[in-house]
Amino acid sequence: MKQQTSAITAMKEFSMYLATEQDRSIYFEHHAGEGRPVVLVHGWGACTRCWDTTAPALSAAGHEVVSLDLRACGRSDKDFDDVSIDALAGDVVKLVDHLGLDRPVINGWSLGGGVATAAVAALGDRAGGLVLTGGASPRYTVADGWDHGGTVEGVAEVLAAAAANRADTFRGVAAAVCAKAPSDDTLNWIWGMFMEMGPRGDESLRDLSHMDLRTELAAIDVPILSLHGTEDAFVPLSGAQAAVDLAKSATLVEFPGVGHAPFLEDRDRYLSELTGFLRA
């Protein structure tokens, strides 16, 4: 009985939730460390598990590592009324405050790049840096003065396909994440994360298609690192370059032959670039 109680206690300590609004909560994981805090923000449809080849290495390097499941994703509640990019970024800020993180670097993948940008803009000088990993920032779709990315109509078509056949649509999205076909196990892993997202999460992508953070990105004073695959099928490399050109202090690192997830496709170099930025 004592062993069983200890196991339950350990699970409670590992599984942490942050109340956000209307009695709804988001799931997060917090790994202590003496080094620079890093907050890992996943992409659309994924969850904190996507960082399972990244977070342990950062923790082993001494960093304080935090990851979270965005609203409607993973273990977080699925019935949020507001799943906008602003709301997701607000959760990141609230988590930083809740944990008392000291000038954390916010690292966002894909849609998480937009979330991370908005969060760093809100944190101001309380943030230590911004990392865009295939980041959909400052825009995901084309607009006046921004010729990079897809279209609002294209996003709507993907969401309509998901509404009609969620499993097949998300399988196709998962297959497009990597430039080179991943193993069946990796593909099923990515697909499985997508299938855990509740339907309300679709509206986060719809909001992303209208999001425009050019003003916010240009005003950010902390260092920015963009880690981007040259064969990214979701966020074109030209958009990453335009984002770096727009920012005050930003560096773009290209990953030749890599798609939308450099942390999966070229893990060793990704970790080298990321940890170097954190040390600097």
Q: What is the pLDDT of residues 70-128, one digit of tens each?
A: 999 999 999 999 999 999 999 999 999 999 999 999 999 999 999 999 999 999 999 99
Q: What is the C-alpha to C-alpha distance for residues 87 and 104, in angstroms, rounded to an integer?
A: 19
**Which residue ranges make up each domain of the chain?**
25-279
pLDDT score of 15: 52
Q: Tell how far CA 179 is from the center of its chain.
A: 19
Cβ atoms 204, 84 nearer than 8 A: yes
Task: State the pTM of this model.
Answer: 0.94
Cβ atoms 224, 250 nearer than 8 A: yes
- Whether the pLDDT of residue 10 is over 50: the answer is no
- Whether the pLDDT of residue 11 is over 80: the answer is no
Of 60, 148, 107, 63, which is closest to residue 270 (Cα–Cα)? 107
Q: What is the pLDDT of residues 24-39, one digit of tens each?
A: 999 999 999 999 999 9
- Whether the pLDDT of residue 259 is over 50: the answer is yes
- Residue 57 backbone zone (phi > 0: left; psi -120 to 50: alpha; other: beta): alpha
What sign does the dihedral 252-225-18-94 (CA atoms) show? negative
Q: Which CATH number fits domain 25-279: 1.20.210.10, 3.40.50.1820, 1.10.510.10, 3.40.50.450?
A: 3.40.50.1820
